[in-house]
Copies of this chain bind each other. A is one copy, B any other.
Amino acid sequence: MKIGLDIMGGDYAPKATVLGAISAYKALPEDQKIILIGDKEQALPFFSEQDFNPDVFEFIHTTEVIGMGEHPTKAIVQKPNSSISIGFQLLKEGKLDSFASAGNTGAMMVGAMFSVKTIPGVVRPAIASIVPKLKGGYGIMLDVGANADCKPDTLLQFGILGKLFVENVYGIDNPKVGLMNIGEEEEKGNLATQATYPLMKETNLFNFVGNLEGRDLFNDKADVIVCDGFTGNIILKLAETFYILTLKKGFKDEFFDRFNYEQYGGSPFLGVNAPVIIGHGISTPEAIKNMVLLSKTMIESKLIDKIKSVFK
């Protein structure tokens, strides 16, 4: 197993990515290799600082970096030697089994769709965000930003992608899929959700539990929350703000602690032909480690093959 990690991605790279890779290495069995993609010269001092032998990793030396503010499509085209471009090149060639980066989110999406490409039958890939549940455990919400406007068939597919993810990665049997909306009743919603409800009700591809409301984000009504990327992005950023507020106010609580993105590492980009994980820009070593471990679980679970077989 070859887990690709962009060591140039994220606000605290390469220090945070190197430290995260070291932690992940210690947590992984020996046959699971982490491939570090980035500027080796910049990375080496952080290994020395830790008195850790860098030779346990395979390095792919790259000389360019796509900045957080760069235009995704332009950057991918103009910086073929960037860690993100090279990472996706290797993923496409099968030299990596997964690729993860806490770098430019747009470049990660564009890079994935240009290189390994969208799975045939999938209309639009989606970014899934992990959502902590009050009762314990996690659910996911998708899309959280890849697709601001979504047609009903796209939302239906997000339900399938999400179902397969939580089933295979979290081991949740027959997961509950809900549609984020503004009322429980079937006829409630905007044009998109009103048209999506009957499609979800009719499908036999997942267990549709009906409409959800903003108040249902953390309860047990659904394991998979489907929404367009506009709604999901706003929900996600609002929820993060609440977590930050509880921290600032000095409230300590096990539930709020599980809002900490570090614990799950990153957001899977679902619907492309390989495991791709996008980390938070502010990723710490702990987040990077968990992003690598999530990569491993996505590879082991053969999630991509399972998605392909449903959409073929």
Residues of A within 8 A of B (CB): 134, 145, 148-149, 180, 182, 189-191, 193, 213-215, 217-218, 228-231, 233-242, 245-246, 249, 251, 253, 255-256
B215 touches A241 (CB 8 A): yes
Query: Which partner residue on chain B sits nearest A249 by CB separation?
Result: B253
Residue in B134, B148, B215, B253 whose CB lies within 8 Å of A189:
B148
Instruction: Give 30 A-B contacts (CB < 8 Å), ordered by A residue.
Output: A134-B245, A145-B182, A148-B189, A148-B190, A148-B191, A149-B191, A182-B229, A182-B234, A189-B230, A190-B228, A190-B230, A193-B230, A213-B233, A213-B237, A214-B235, A214-B239, A214-B240, A214-B241, A215-B237, A215-B240, A215-B241, A218-B241, A231-B234, A234-B235, A235-B238, A242-B242, A246-B251, A249-B253, A249-B256, A251-B253
> For residue A145, which residues in chain B have a CB less than 8 angstroms away from its CB?
182
Q: How far is the CB of A265 from chain B (nearest CB, A)?
A: 21
CA A143 – CA B246 in complex, angstroms? 27
Leading 5 A-B pairs by shortest Cβ distance: A214-B237, A214-B238, A148-B190, A214-B234, A182-B233
Residue in B180, B191, B217, B238 whose CB lies within 8 Å of A217:
B238
Known: A148-B191, A182-B230, A214-B233. 15 other contacts (CB 8 A): A148-B182, A149-B191, A213-B234, A214-B235, A214-B241, A215-B237, A231-B231, A234-B235, A238-B238, A238-B239, A242-B242, A246-B251, A249-B253, A249-B255, A249-B256
